[in-house]
Amino acid sequence: MTCDLHPGSSFLHQLDPRLKIVIVAIWSFLAALIQTLPAASFALAGSLLFALAGRLSPRETLTRLVKVNAFLLVIWFLIPFSFSMPGRTVGSFGFFTVTAEGLQLALLLTLKANAVALGALAFFGTSSVTQLAAAAHRLGASEKITAIFLLMLRYFHVIRQEYVRLRLAMKVRAFRPTFSLHTYRSYANLVGMLMVRSMDRAGRVHAAMLCRGYTGRFWFYDHFSFTRLDLAGVALAILLVAGVLVLNVI
Amino acid sequence: MSSKVLIEVADLNFAYPDRPKVLNNFNLTWRAEERIGLAGPNGVGKSTLLFLIMGLLKAQSGVIEIFGKQRREEKDFQAIRPQMGFVFQDANDQLFCPTVADDLAFGPLNLGLGHDEIHRIVERVLARLGLMGFEHRVTYDLSGGEKKLVAIGSALSLNPRLLILDEPTANLDPVTVARLEGVLAESGLPYLVVSHDHEFLDRVTTRRLEIRPNLS
Ligand SMILES: Nc1ncnc2c1ncn2[C@@H]1O[C@H](COP(=O)(O)OP(=O)(O)OP(=O)(O)O)[C@@H](O)[C@H]1O
Ligand SMILES: [Mg+2]
What pLDDT digit, counting tens, does each position of A84-131 carry?
556 667 777 666 777 788 888 889 999 999 999 999 999 998 888 888
Q: What is the mean pLDDT of chain A?
A: 84
Please state the domain count of chain B.
1
In a domain, A92, yes or no: yes
Whether residue A99 is found in the same domain as residue A159: no
In a domain, A119, yes or no: yes
CA dihedral A69, A70, A75, A81 (to 10 degrees): 120
Whether residue A123 is found in the same domain as residue A232: yes
Asked if B165 has any chain A CB less than 8 Å from its own CB, the reply is no
- Residue A2 pLDDT class (50, 70, 90 cuts): very low
Whether residue A165 is found in the same domain as residue A85: no
Residue A199: domain span: 141-211
In a domain, B143, yes or no: yes
Pocket test for ligand 1, best of B13, B46, B196, B201 (most atoms within 8 A of CB): B46
Cβ–ligand 1 distance for B157 under 6 Å, the answer: no
Minimum Cα–Cα distance from A129: chain B residue: B98
Distance of residue A174 Cα from the nearest chain B Cα, in angstroms: 27
In a domain, A12, yes or no: no
Whether residue A145 is found in the same domain as residue A207: yes
User: What was the pLDDT predicted at B1?
Assistant: 43
What pLDDT digit, counting tens, does each position of A15-25 carry?
899 999 999 99
In a domain, A29, yes or no: yes
Q: Is B144 exposed, middle or buried (0-12, 13-18, 19+ CB in 10 A)?
A: middle
Asked if B147 has any chain A CB less than 8 Å from its own CB, the reply is no
In a domain, A6, yes or no: no
What pLDDT digit, counting tens, does each position of A140-170 carry?
888 888 888 888 887 888 888 888 878 877 7
Whether residue A70 is found in the same domain as residue A114: yes
Got the DSSP string for chain B? Answer: ----EEEEEEEEEEE-TTS-EEEEEEEEEEETT-EEEEE--TTSSHHHHHHHHTTSS--SEEEEEETTEE--SHHHHHHHGGGEEEE-SSHHHH--SSBHHHHHHHHHHHTT--HHHHHHHHHHHHHHHT-TT-TTSBGGGS-HHHHHHHHHHHHHTT--SEEEEESTTTT--HHHHHHHHHHHHHH---EEEE-S-HHHHHHH-SEEEEPPP---
CA dihedral B39, B43, B49, B55 (to 10 degrees): 140
Whether residue A162 is found in the same domain as residue A112: no
Q: What is the mean pLDDT of chain B?
A: 91
In a domain, B215, yes or no: no
Whether residue A150 is found in the same domain as residue A122: no
Report CA(B46)–ligand 1 centroid distance (Å): 8
- Is the pLDDT reported for residue B215 higher than 70? no
In a domain, A218, yes or no: no
In a domain, A53, yes or no: yes
- Residue B43 sits in a domain whose CATH number is 3.40.50.300
| Direct distance between the N- and C-terminal alpha carbons of chain A, in angstroms, rounded to an integer | 43
Cβ–ligand 1 distance for B24 under 6 Å, the answer: no
In a domain, A10, yes or no: no
Q: Which residue has the higher pLDDT, B199 or A99?
A: B199
Asked if B118 has any chain A CB less than 8 Å from its own CB, the reply is yes
User: What was the pLDDT predicted at A38?
Assistant: 92
Please state the domain count of chain A.
2
Cβ–ligand 1 distance for B212 under 6 Å, the answer: no
Whether residue A123 is found in the same domain as residue A227: yes
What pLDDT digit, counting tens, does each position of A171-215 carry?
767 777 888 888 888 888 888 888 888 888 888 889 998 988 888
Residue B156: domain span: 5-210
